[in-house]
Amino acid sequence: MANAVRHADSEGLVRLEIDKDETDKVLIRVFNSGGAIPEEEINRVFDRLFRGEYARNTPGSGLGLTIAKKISELHGGTIAIKSRKDYGTTVLLTLRER
């Protein structure tokens, strides 16, 4: 959530959605309408200490998404990112219901 706010543009939108799918998995989506993550960086955003070109101009350690991925895996879940220049970025966290 902090990343979404940090990387939203001044007129940007940040949205949090929580749903349950047909298999009772919990889906958490965080969306922002800020700048897109370049395609060549999208597979590296979960790497420890990785800071993409766009993120280097904002505060942060490069650990947040790495930690989020590890937590999701410990809970039997997944995390993924989709990003498009003309739309924004969505982080999807999927967790199984306990």
Phi, psi of 28 (to 5 degrees): -115, 120
Q: Residue 17 sits in which domain range?
A: 2-96
Rounded to whole angstroms, how far apart are CA atoms 51 and 59? 10
Residue 49, Cβ density class (10 Å: 0-12 exposed, 13-18 middle, ≥19 buried): exposed
CATH number at residue 71: 3.30.565.10
**Residue that the structure tokens 């790497």 belong to:** 47
Average pLDDT of the segment spanning 8-12: 72
Residue 62: band (very low, low, confident or very high) from pLDDT cuts 50, 70, 90: low
Q: What is the dihedral of CA 3, 37, 46, 28, to 10 degrees?
A: 60
pTM for the full predicted model: 0.76
Number of domains in the chain: 1
Rounded to whole angstroms, how far apart are CA atoms 98 and 95? 9
